Amino acid sequence: MLAEVLLLARKDLRIEWRAKVALGQVAPLTLLIVVIFAFALDANAPLLELGAGGLYWVAILYGGTLLTQRSFELETEDGNFDGFRMSSMKVHSLFLGKALALFVQICLLEIVLGPAILLFYDVQVANWALLVTAGVAGTMAFSVCGVLWGVMAAGLRVRTTLLPLLLVPVLAPVLLAGSRAFETALGVRADAGWSWTSLMFVISAVHTVVGLGAFGFLLEES
């Protein structure tokens, strides 16, 4: 099963590498969001420093939703799911493979966005271990939720508007936990950063279990 997961993740990443949508379009767009936030807050340095964690996750939420949408558009436009159903691969492998590919793409986005936030908002990292662990936990939660809700909207004509409507309420706890953990890691708040990080791991685990159970069912209909 691991070989199938890696194969399917590699397939998505190879398509992405050739098209360069994540790095060529989505990453610059999230950078633009970071700059726009500064305009909206009148380049108020103390306020930007205070809100850096939250703004980072809002930008990731936006970029990640676009990546999720694209991940499923590629599959449904060419009827790839029909091909998958005819193959002998397990449905669980597809769920985990797509989640892994989305995880890698969002990580790339974060590698671009993280330094930009530190630079533009002039924030210092107080706890690197917490920052990296919370980033990984949040990205994991985003990836599994994205794949689960992405397949729900896959193949529908209104998927571009429906997916954010379905996904954002589910990701709201991740956004909240990620923001609190980052604020602690950036030293702007003395809070239980590790507890918020644990919450994101719990959300990932719950959605992985639900996703493994429901994905096959949803895939039949897409």
Partner 1 sequence: MSGGTNSTEMTATPATRVLGVSAVAATALMILLGLVISPADVVQGEAVRMLYLHVPSIWIAYGSFVLTSFSSLLFLARSKRRPDGGRHYDRLAGSAAEIGVLFTAITLITGMLWGKVTWGTYWQWDARLTTTVLLFVTYLGYLALRRLPVDPMVRGRRAAVMALISFINVPIVHYSVDWWRTLHQKASLSVGRRPEITGEMYWTLLYSVLTVTIIAAWLTVHRYRVIRLEELRDEETLEQLISSRRNEETADTAEPGDTI
Which residues contact partner 1 by CB under 8 A?
148, 152, 156-158, 162, 165-166, 168-170, 172, 206, 210, 214, 217-218, 220-221
Q: For 222, what's the count of Cα atoms within 13 Å in the CB-facing half-sphere?
A: 29
Q: How far is the CB of 29 from partner 1 (least distance, A)?
A: 24
The type of residue at 34 is V
Cα separation, 65 vs 67, whole angstroms: 5
Q: Which is nearer to partner 1, 71 or 105 (CB)?
A: 71
Q: How far is the CB of 170 from partner 1 (least distance, A)?
A: 7
Q: How far is the CB of 114 from partner 1 (least distance, A)?
A: 26
Q: Say how many residues make up the chain.
A: 222
Q: How far is the CB of 200 from partner 1 (least distance, A)?
A: 15
Q: Which is nearer to partner 1, 127 or 222 (CB)?
A: 222
Q: Which is nearer to partner 1, 111 or 165 (CB)?
A: 165
DSSP states of 160-201: HHHHHHHHHHHHHHHHHHHHHHHHHHTTS--S-HHHHHHHHH
Cα separation, 27 vs 139, whole angstroms: 15
Q: How far is the CB of 150 from partner 1 (least distance, A)?
A: 12
Q: Which is nearer to partner 1, 62 or 120 (CB)?
A: 62
Measure CA 153 to chain center: 16
The type of residue at 104 is V
A 10 A CB-CB count for 109 gives 24
- Look up residue 138 and give its two tokens: 């949040």
Q: How far is the CB of 120 from partner 1 (least distance, A)?
A: 26
Q: Which is nearer to partner 1, 122 or 221 (CB)?
A: 221
Q: Which is nearer to partner 1, 117 or 167 (CB)?
A: 167
Q: Give the distance between the most distant pair of CA atoms in the chain.
A: 57
